[in-house]
Structure 1
């Protein structure tokens, strides 16, 4: 990657670069990030202080790099929502360069700016190393290495089996868009669009503003924004310092509703959450064609894998449409369906599903696996 851009190659010489190819033996106190990323980078001081993170991804293949770019990486060293087509909608060489530049800037100001970096180090984790997670221990003989996404999978499965799984374990690292901010992919911190009537709009943030800090933490990339949003309470506020035409302003974002929910489908770790089937939400037009109200549940069963024994035993087939879950008919997408099943049912529990098969409805009970 460095050899693709001479400026990144020049900036790279300012760093001691280390490539980490698997998570076994990696300190999870320091290296906490969105483990489903296509690619991620840390910018560190030799004493372990974290200047920032880089790497953001959105849902769907076309967004795999929409949140990262070469420009934002460069600026971060100076001080990555699902699927392959979305893997680069939030990243670019330009934003990578900016992230590198911003990281170097922070390094030059260190340790006087140490207080602004304190929040970038996560809390002491329950397990110091990925191989210590009980689920990882049980799978040790089956794996040649521990991939990044395995960390999320193993932590979730351990909590699920111990009846401790919470919504915060499923809805992780919300995008800036979740509070109404679409960032310039080639800068990482400059606001490109503010969604009307969103929490960001209500806070007074404008297109063109450059975010400087969130909850007191200096930012170098969209990944840093996600880090703050990930750790922000579901009900609370996020303070933002921004640069508007050379003037520093302080604003407060007050997120509302289910703002942390994002698309899980692109995440490799989501396969371990799926209850034995792959679903897609029907559009309102597709619902009308099948006689389903537009404001009601309609999940098309795209695929029941051959190994999904319990789903097949329940009678589920490719092409079925789920119109009720435990008697509830409120609309939900695949991610919300996955979360509902895992948060309301334990292994071996039974989920009541109403299916539309052709023009006939059928009630089935599926055991959770």
Structure 2
């Protein structure tokens, strides 16, 4: 990603797979690649991608008849983001700049510019946030509509085929996500042209305040999560089934073995705070604030960032050398 022009190539940088179909003049026709917390490839289909490449030819031919090149913008790479450039001066430019680092760098710059708000975390929302899902094999076709959702209130139905969003032809889920990403988290609208039973229809999905928000579990797959605060200051993997059995823990019990305490990087105070509370490497976290229903370590990490507030304290229940230990940790900004 070191030399990629971020003013041209935009997609969900947290993804592990993304395809852009575009014109040489910088116009992006379509995007392909999306996911949710359940798996990295559950929204992907080889057949759907092949069909997109075929259908993309029609988009290209239509565009060639009436080209509308985007207004040229200065070339901008991740190395041109002041916050990221300053960081590399302190250390060095990483040998491999990962895609997700773009989200991290842009957030860090927004904090520096004092333009960051908590709503900035809600990036590239899935159509399910508006109340509908798409068919993986035919990704412009609506698969389900959630009862009582904005999509349901608009009148969208399973089987409808989305032809355009805000006046632009769409063929894929991220084509729609591109426009959803630009709707304010405080509310807005998405205009859709759909086809139902061979007949075209116009629909406007009205999105209420808070429509972009998802829970910790749904957000936990995003690398972007690790940049959010507050941070518990420690982390590690879950115990294996055999390890749980030896300790007399239920097979489905949540566990997190404290493998590291963060005393490095930008916020070494996080680890010092955890140590001050009495947390040690090797401890096994069983619950926090009376809760223990997390599905993974990253689910816990996301929950902490989403629900804890600086100035509060959180009670942690740990297992240490086979004995239960309770500690109270302050939550720091």
TM-score, normalised to structure 2, is 0.75
Contact 2:235 2:261 in 1 (8 A): no
1:365 to 324, 330, 333: 330
Unaligned stretches of 5+ residues in structure 2: 238-253, 263-270, 291-298, 319-323
Instruction: Please name the residue that 1:264 is paired with.
Output: 219
Instruction: Please name the residue that 1:247 is paired with.
Output: 199
Cα distance change, pair 143–155 in 1 and its aligned pair in 2 (3 A): same
Instruction: Please name the residue that 1:136 is paired with.
Output: 84
CA displacement 1:142-178 (0-9 Å, x = unmatched): 5102111111112222333554322342110011111
Cα distance change, pair 265–199 in 1 and its aligned pair in 2 (3 A): same
Equivalent residue runs for 1:111-260 within 5 Å: 111-112=64-65, 114=67, 128-137=76-85, 138-139=87-88, 141=92, 143-234=94-185, 235-260=187-212
Cα distance change, pair 162–323 in 1 and its aligned pair in 2 (3 A): farther
Corresponding position: 1:323 with 2:289: yes
Q: Within 1, Cα distance between the matches of 2:207 and 2:36?
A: 19
Q: CA deviation at 1:278?
A: 5.3
Instruction: Please name the residue that 2:47 is paired with.
Output: 94
Unaligned stretches of 5+ residues in structure 1: 1-22, 61-85, 281-299, 325-331, 345-349
Off by >6 Å, runs of 4+ in structure 1: 358-361
Contact 1:199 1:253 in 2 (8 A): yes
Q: State the superposition RMSD in angstroms.
A: 3.2
Equivalent residue runs for 1:31-46 within 5 Å: 31-46=9-24
Tell me, what secondary structure is at the counterpart of 2:30? strand
Corresponding position: 1:105 with 2:58: yes
Contact 2:14 2:99 in 1 (8 A): yes
Query: Comparing 189-198 with 354-363, which one deviates more in the overlay?
Result: 354-363
Q: Within 2, Cα distance between the matches of 1:95 and 1:278?
A: 38
Number of aligned positions between the proteins: 284
Decide which structure has the larger Cα Rg and report it. Answer: 2
Equivalent residue runs for 1:293-312 within 5 Å: 302=256, 304-308=258-262, 309-310=271-272, 311-312=274-275
CA displacement 1:60-91 (0-9 Å, x = unmatched): 3xxxxxxxxxxxxxxxxxxxxxxxxx111111
